[in-house]
Amino acid sequence: MNDMNNFNNGEFSGTSNPQIPQYPVPSPKPPRKSHTTAKVAALLAGVLIVGGGAGFGGTYLANRARSTAVVSSPNDTSKPAKTDNDDTHTSGTPTLDEMQKDIVSTQHTVTSNVEYKTDGTYMYTRDLVNAVRDSVVYIETFVNYRGQRQQYGAASGVIISKDGYIVTNNHVVEGSTEFTVKVSDTDPDTGVVSQETYDATLCGTDADTDLAVLKIEASDLPAAKLGDSDSLRLGDDVIAVGNPLGYESSVTKGIISGLNRQVSDSQRGLTAIQTDTPINSGNSGGALFNTYGEVIGIVNEKRVDSYAESLGFAITINEAKGVINDLIDKGYVSGRAILGITYLGINETAAAYRGEIAGWQVTKIDQDMAVANSDLVVGDTIVKLDGKSVFEDDIMNIFSEKKPGDTVTVTVIRTNQLGHEKEMDIEVELSEYKGD
């Protein structure tokens, strides 16, 4: 996953920029010299000679030459009356004005100077942008470095309530201790933008879904309307609003390129919307809007690869809603099961080299969780969970499929003081994960 938040840190991953083929560039042609006066004089001389005995042909050319001479003369401001013999339009083909005069513009419904299509979507992107742009904010993050407040990153966020709740990405705020939010107010008539900056507090974060919620003390903010991402179809028009590379309130446009994409490394990650809308560093946490002006995704990722381009992703808003509610209400995502231990993973190669047992070597047991009441002890090496090897690629799915209060069978190998090893099964009750 490529984090989009810090345009100073250059966190895009992927292969380096491919070599661009070099093609021979033709030398520019020298500019053509102006010989208007000489050409007209030569043409007149030639026509006069031919016209002396050339009949109609000579006369036509002479008239044409005179007309050309008059038009070409910079000192002659007179405009001869247009006649049927004037060859400025002799082909019989109608002029552009003539072709356009019978074409009637498409009729639209107009409400308060904003035009809508019959399905209620915005007719013009400019009206859509004007309606939603102020609901996307500019976020700056800070850390304390050697006793001084230093900017750590900058990205985007979406106002989701008039009283100041703002959703963004976890990777935008991760590692930072202070946050500011810049809110814009655009005059609808003049387009003049005024801004106000607020200090923000962090309500909660969730690394699995890459979501976070900030809160500022304000009222009557231009909150965005959350839409229905389940209603999206391939090819739907969308726009992204954010602050790429610090360029505030930037807008890009594209379509829905894919749905239900699994791009998170976490088993608990949410599905994503794929779009060809240009996404860049600093767009993270911004909004992907449909043509109704509703948020249908929270922008969080761009894939960078030498063999691909225009691969942007946004977290589906329908799945994000539950996470956002929990982060506001509890500060963490509820209902997630956790074993409650800290362990050191030792693979088979390392185990053979060090003379140890391959598996999860328990280094700490959280005394505030149910695991503390089990027979599991520090020093045990977990080799299986519910009969499945801990080295299976999808072993973490066991926790994603269980709830707090459920039990899991933990198979461990315990070594006593004499070096004797014993394998045993221990039933452990799972606790609720409440964040870091």
**DSSP string of 102-116, one letter each residue:** TPPPPP-EEETTEEE
Say what the pLDDT of residue 395 is: 84
What is each CA distance from 316 to 271, 322, 338, in whole angstroms?
6, 11, 25
Which has the closest alpha carbon to 273: 223, 322, 308, 238? Answer: 238
Which has the closest alpha carbon to 11: 274, 287, 209, 284? Answer: 284
- The structure tokens listed for 10 are 């250059």
Which has the closest alpha carbon to 413: 425, 403, 404? Answer: 425
> Given the DSSP bridges, would you call strands 193-206 and 211-216 parallel, antiparallel or unpaired?
antiparallel
d(CA 131, CA 28): 47
Give me the residues paired with residue 250 across strands: 242
Please answer whether residues 2 and 301 qualify as being in contact, where contact means their C-beta atoms are separated by less than 8 angstroms: yes
DSSP state at residue 42: H
State the CB neighbour count (10 A cutoff) for residue 380: 24
What is each CA distance from 197 to 70, 206, 322, in whole angstroms?
65, 25, 28
How many helices (H) and strands (E) the chain has is answered by: 8, 23
Residue carrying structure tokens 């509703």: 294
Assign a CATH topology to domain 337-432.
Pdz3 Domain (2.30.42)
Say what the pLDDT of residue 78 is: 45
Please answer whether residues 400 and 378 qualify as being in contact, where contact means their C-beta atoms are separated by less than 8 angstroms: no
d(CA 284, CA 313): 10
d(CA 348, CA 381): 13
What is each CA distance from 319 to 206, 236, 255, 265, in whole angstroms?
13, 19, 20, 17
Please answer whether residues 269 and 263 qualify as being in contact, where contact means their C-beta atoms are separated by less than 8 angstroms: yes
Handedness of CA 25, 26, 30, 34 (dihedral sign): negative
Widest pairwise Cα distance in the chain: 129
Say what the pLDDT of residue 168 is: 96
Domain assignments of the chain as residue spans, ordered by start: 1-13+113-334, 337-432
d(CA 428, CA 368): 14
Instruction: Please give the CATH architecture assigned to the domain spanning 1-13+113-334.
Output: Beta Barrel (2.40)
d(CA 133, CA 124): 14
> Given the DSSP bridges, would you call strands 294-302 and 225-226 parallel, antiparallel or unpaired?
parallel
For the chain (length 436 residues), average pLDDT per consecutive 10? 46 40 45 42 37 34 38 42 50 67 63 82 89 93 91 92 93 92 86 90 92 94 91 91 86 88 65 86 90 91 68 89 92 91 92 90 94 94 94 84 93 87 94 83
- The structure tokens listed for 198 are 């607020």
d(CA 301, CA 12): 9
State the CB neighbour count (10 A cutoff) for residue 394: 9
Residue carrying structure tokens 């102006």: 34
What is each CA distance from 146 to 8, 143, 150, 153, 182, in whole angstroms?
20, 10, 9, 17, 26
Catalytic residues: 171, 210, 284
